[in-house]
Amino acid sequence: MARSLTQLELLMELEPIAEQNVNRHLSMAKDWHPHDYVPWDDGRNFAAMDGEDWELGQSRLSEVARAAMITNLLTEDNLPSYHREIAENFSQDGAWGTWVGRWTAEENRHGIVIRDYLVVTRGVDPVALERDRMVHMTNGYSAMSLVQQGTGNQAIRADAGFMHSVVYVTFQELATRVSHRNTGKVCNDPIADRMLQRIAADENLHMIFYRNICEAALNLSPDQALEAISNVVQNFQMPGAGMPNFRRNGVLMAKHGIYDLRQHLEEVVLPVLKKWNIMERSDFGARGEQLRNELGEFIERLRKDVVRFEEQRDKALAREAARRDSALEQPAMA
């Protein structure tokens, strides 16, 4: 059985790939400025400056759009935790250090522009948003702890830090891209849609960087990489899982097609696994073959879960529509 590489060995072997992909990213990334995506004319003072404090009627966003915007922003807000997670598992020298710094700066820009948009347009309650930010950032985040809290039964290797992190952020960046893109669609505001499409484009480039590193790791140490992939896929949770109201907001987002189980399977998990050629590779050892079989069985269970979820969602939406129709008919009947 092939020996698993240490974290240091992985970093050293993959550094040339990291350098190539940093250069690729820098050649493709487009400069943009948060202030160009915010309708500043909509802004006005709050009560502390002799203006008017927020109330729900000021928001032009639907309940679903507000939930999605808050979830997306609080996810971006926890950037210090993500930076720590990446910096601890990547080297801060050479190409790895360049990437950590560049990725952090680009992600920070996302939080800046979403918050400016929401405060200026009074899209959400800024006081509640700040309270939730404080709670979420104080709690912090650990990708490894999210996996350990998941539903899978695989043990997490003590030395899995780098491999696990790079696999996790590959799926997470793509999931975030899907969420931002679909949030823009439900905002019913071309400015918000334009802003979130811009952010989604950044997330896609980030995903490609991590996906390419994972592909190189698979070629370098197939079974070791697949162990991390299998753990992440079977236990995946979005990085905002610990934020206030995450479950409620996540249910709303899933019910209304912003990020649901089918999107997770068909737009995130399966495309990445296909890109890595997981099901067709011939270089896995005995452990890798076992992991691939387990992963295939998990995917089949997930397909069934998608069908069950959609059946339940359709019934729930039908009941809500019936209640609305009944409420509209009441005055006429009276």
Binding residues for Fe cation are 76, 107, 110, 173, 203, 206
**Contact predicate 246/312, CB 8 Å:** no
| Among 189, 199, 67, residue whose Cα is nearest residue 120 | 189
Cα angle value 80/84/88 (rounded, 5°): 170
Give the whole-angstrom CA distance, residue 309 versus residue 261. 8
User: Of 61, 89, 55, nearest to 213 (Cα)?
Assistant: 89
Instruction: Determine the Cα angle at 90 with ends 84 and 94, to 5°.
Output: 120
Q: Which residues contact 57 (CB under 8 A, 6 or more apart)?
A: none
Handedness of CA 141, 143, 144, 147 (dihedral sign): positive
Annotated binding site: 76, 107, 110, 173, 203, 206
Integer Cα distance of 279 and 229 in angstroms:
12
DSSP string, 150-206: SS--PPPPTT-HHHHHHHHHHHHHHHHHHHHHHHHHHT--HHHHHHHHHHHHHHHHH
- Do 184 and 178 touch, CB atoms closer than 8 A? no
CA distances in angstroms from 51 to 43, 59, 126, listed in the order given? 11, 16, 14
Q: Cα–Cα distance between 241 and 251 in angstroms, integer?
A: 12
